[in-house]
A = this chain, B = another copy of it.
């Protein structure tokens, strides 16, 4: 699930994976938001934006590109005030556009308001249709705009009540930061699908971020994660908390954050990501052992699981693949007649480590299978005599509707092929996935009642599975 992009669900472009950051109570709010977004850059490289409030006026800057390229001293100087929110958005294959950059920033009857959103709404299309029938105009493809319209149309008395009314009508995943002239509101959806963590600077400012790594960078203390369904309002230096939504039957924290998406130094859903991944690797070694000379990782996302696999199995860990530091989005491959370089620009094999060896290769997931095939071939070309591919998540058979961008079922190799068929396709001597039960153990949810693993199980929480998707012929 390396290549993620926005997709469409019944006519509404879904938000792809994103990162959000907010701060209130510090004179350098936009500077610190810039740093926080930089730490969350892995959650979205397509566009970034910051909206600040100086207490009476909101100011915005949004642009396509990387945080470090978008913001400089003059741009940040144009975003004054003690409060700010920011957003990074995932890079998409082609449908990306500036109009979808966040935070969304509007004026409505209540004044000015900006929203930064991580997650996907599953009933955005229906709500959009209703809103349009009632005269609303939409200027982006983002489902976040739906929330803003619902908020603006609410007849409730206070801003919080309006926001709650709006959010009660949406279904799906949302970790939200909402900024007005004089307050910052943070909300996490009732099932807790996307993460959101609260921190505090020594000087007193409150900070909110998708992952703890952003708090660490600015040396903010981690206070706690927002609870699923919790709403925090910070105003005049005072923080109020409430639980305004109906209790759901179960939680649905995204297990894929632990598998691939989050940074290993972050803690999410109560666990450190690196430790969880290492446990996945240990579990994988127990479930899918291999007779081999060494364990290597597909860097960087497979490293923790590979070390876990090595420690559990006793097979030495080594570095068999090197990742280039210089593969960015601007790399233009030369003309057609040269063979396609693809993954070779990103990864290179260490021949002397691999030559003559039976190698366990640990990766986090297989999506289409094409990249895995190239990697296995690269390792064999470097002299490995056997390649045993081990995957630290179960077969990915179902698309995600809550914010991880996955291709359609047809393109997911595990939706239409058996593990043996996949092993053959990727040219591995053996292929083993961790079991869903094993993954549950690794994330500390053995009964699987706190995490959503629909991408592996197809057990969606809100009945999103639609006919065309179900049509796919299942072979597994």
List the interface of chain A (C-beta within 8 A of B): 28, 31-32, 34-35, 38-39, 41-42, 60, 66-69, 71-73, 76, 98-99, 104-109, 132-139, 148-149, 152-154, 213, 216-217, 219, 263-265, 267, 272, 274-275, 278, 300, 303-304, 307, 311, 316-319, 322, 324-326, 328, 330-332, 334-335, 337-339, 341, 344-345, 348-353
- A72 closest partner in B (C-beta): B332
List the number of copies, as a whole number. Answer: 4
Task: Tell me what chain A mostly uses at the interface: helix, strand, loop, or mixed.
Answer: mixed
12 cross-chain CB contacts under 8 A: A32-B334, A35-B345, A66-B326, A72-B332, A108-B132, A135-B152, A264-B350, A267-B351, A272-B351, A272-B353, A274-B350, A304-B319
A136, B149: Cα distance in complex, Å: 7
A132, B73: Cα distance in complex, Å: 35
A374 to nearest B CB, angstroms?
Answer: 13
Establish whether residues A137 and B106, one from each chain, have CB atoms under 8 Å apart when the complex forms. yes
Q: Across the interface, which residues of B come within 8 angstroms of A316, CB to CB?
A: 311
Establish whether residues B334 and A319, one from each chain, have CB atoms under 8 Å apart when the complex forms. no
- A69 closest partner in B (C-beta): B330
Q: Of B35, B264, B326, which is within 8 A of A319 by CB?
A: B264
Establish whether residues A107 and B137, one from each chain, have CB atoms under 8 Å apart when the complex forms. yes
Contact A341 to B139, CB < 8 A, known contacts A28-B335, A67-B326, A264-B322:
no
A188, B191: Cα distance in complex, Å: 53
Q: Of B67, B216, B272, B334, which is within 8 A of A352 by CB?
A: B272
Q: Across the interface, which residues of B come within 8 angstroms of A137, CB to CB?
A: 106-108, 148-149, 152
- A71 closest partner in B (C-beta): B332
Q: Across the interface, which residues of B come within 8 angstroms of A344, CB to CB?
A: 217
Q: Across the interface, which residues of B come within 8 angstroms of A132, CB to CB?
A: 107-109, 152
Establish whether residues B73 and A334, one from each chain, have CB atoms under 8 Å apart when the complex forms. yes
A180 to nearest B CB, angstroms?
Answer: 13
A133, B154: Cα distance in complex, Å: 10
Contact A335 to B135, CB < 8 A, known contacts A68-B326, A326-B68:
no
A111 to nearest B CB, angstroms?
Answer: 10
Establish whether residues A334 and B152, one from each chain, have CB atoms under 8 Å apart when the complex forms. no
Interface centre among A107, A300, A339 (most CB of B within 10 A): A107
Q: Across the interface, which residues of B come within 8 angstroms of A73, CB to CB?
A: 332, 334-335
Establish whether residues A307 and B331, one from each chain, have CB atoms under 8 Å apart when the complex forms. no
Q: Of B38, B139, B349, which is within 8 A of A139 by CB?
A: B139
Interface centre among A28, A35, A38, A109 (most CB of B within 10 A): A109
A31, B317: Cα distance in complex, Å: 36
Q: Across the interface, which residues of B come within 8 angstroms of A135, CB to CB?
A: 108-109, 136, 149, 152-154
A467, B74: Cα distance in complex, Å: 38
Q: Across the interface, which residues of B come within 8 angstroms of A106, CB to CB?
A: 137-139
Establish whether residues A348 and B28, one from each chain, have CB atoms under 8 Å apart when the complex forms. no
A339, B67: Cα distance in complex, Å: 19
- A31 closest partner in B (C-beta): B334
Contact A267 to B38, CB < 8 A, known contacts A105-B139, A326-B67, A328-B68:
no
Establish whether residues B31 and A352, one from each chain, have CB atoms under 8 Å apart when the complex forms. no
- A138 closest partner in B (C-beta): B107
Q: Across the interface, which residues of B come within 8 angstroms of A304, CB to CB?
A: 319
A35, B265: Cα distance in complex, Å: 33
- A135 closest partner in B (C-beta): B153
A311, B295: Cα distance in complex, Å: 13
A349 to nearest B CB, angstroms?
Answer: 7
